[in-house]
Amino acid sequence: MGRGSILASDGTPLAFTRGTRRIYPQGALLAQVVGYASGRYGTSGLEDSFDSVLTAHTDAIAPLAQLQQIFAGAHGAPRGADVVTTLDLQVQKALVAGIGRYARAAGVVLDPRTGAVLALASVPSYDPNALDANWTTLRTDPHSPLLDRSTGGLYPPGSTFKIVTAADALDAGAVTPDSTFNDSGGFTVGNFTVHNDEEEVTGTQNLTGAFALSSNVDFAQIALRLGVDRWFEYAAKWQLGGNVEFDLPVTRDRLPAKSDVYGGILAQLGFGQASLLVTPMRMALVGATIAHGGTTPRPYLVRRIAGSETGLATRPETLAQPISAETARAVRDMMVAVVQRGTGTAARLPAVTVAGKTGTATNPHGRSHAWFVAFAPADAPRVAVAVVVENVGYGGTYAAPVAREVLRVALSRSRS
């Protein structure tokens, strides 16, 4: 009985069976997403999530009847169904080329109109064709190559979370686009003082200026205007901390307990710090929500199942609608300002307006993580991306150029 194949969106094989061997033609390019099917070590990735449809089944119960069914007909043994994904190999290659320059990084690329995932990558990776031989080394590697960081890695989002803070505060009426803030280099709440990265001072800015220049001092004040109750109300609307319906497991975001959030903690949550942890998939969905007019699409990786009796095809669905379309437009304009004149200028593309947000997330285990969340074209988005690079520093320096190249390739391949 033959196991079905896993295919890219254009039909290129990503996994197939030859004789008794499972072959992965793309090797490390899609290792965590496609996963492995090992007689010794089990299954992971899509090989695991869709194991029941990839596996051939016979409806005969008696052993002799099964044998007759297997050898009957000109087509030989029954075969499992094929899983056709939404993955675009050119976009995947661009993402892996970008993040592959670093020791540990991850990214997610999706179509914000539908939720179709165009690319999903995590480094370091591994060759699934050599899984059995290298299992012990892979399991003990301190860089965790078997971990899919795009869906399973938890990180403080840093200033990319200002997308959520700004959206919530605007949507709730706690601020307006014309609200002004004064950043003199520090802001003290109780026994906690907020500073900007490298001690920058942004002075007096309106909301767009505070966002474009990524002032922690200003966003701490915005979070306080929103208040604890409304912060958690909007977190629930975004489904932060909830289960993300997806074709692969997604680790739940970690939020502080509401009872533990006082002024100093709320101030830090305003710029994506304190004990807040999210996945790259979550931040890609945050970007997609702004791109899609305040509505969060359900992400999906499998376009259809071919060869099964059901012939399942995926239809776009909505996960949530945390903010109004008007709020989403206002935040989109602020994200455009980030790329045009703020911290995200490294994401600019010729003849395309890019909307984005940098993040430089401090963590207790070394240098900051670099983030960038973006979508394009800003006025009619077709591609959204989230990139995180571990322990390198500024998001605008390290993550934004990766996102720019991924957007360039993805836009060249997407239909308007």
Amino acid sitting at position 271: F
Q: In the annotation, is 159 catalytic?
A: yes
Beta bridge partners of 119: 109
Q: 106 - beta bridge partners?
A: 122, 388
Nearest C-alpha neighbor of 45 from the set 61, 28, 59, 60? 28
What tokens does 270 get? 């305003």
Residues 202, 355, 403, 292, CA torsion sign: positive
Contact 369, 388 (CB under 8 A): yes
Contacts of 371 (CB under 8 A, 6+ apart): 155, 157, 158, 159, 160, 283, 358, 359, 360, 361, 386, 387, 388, 389, 395, 399
Q: Which of 5, 159, 214, 215 is catalytic?
A: 159
Which among 345, 357, 333, 346 has a CA at the least distance from the CA of 402?
A: 346
Instruction: Look at phi and psi of residue 293 and say left if phi exceeds 0, alpha if psi is from -120 to 50, else beta.
Output: left
Tell me the angle at which helices 216-226 and 228-238 cross, rounded to the nearest 10 degrees.
Answer: 100
Considering only CA atoms, which of 332, 37, 110 is closest in space to residue 208? 332
**DSSP letters spanning 206-250:** EHHHHHHTT-HHHHHHHHHHH-HHHHHHHHHHHTTTSPPP-SS--
**So which residues are the catalytic ones?**
159
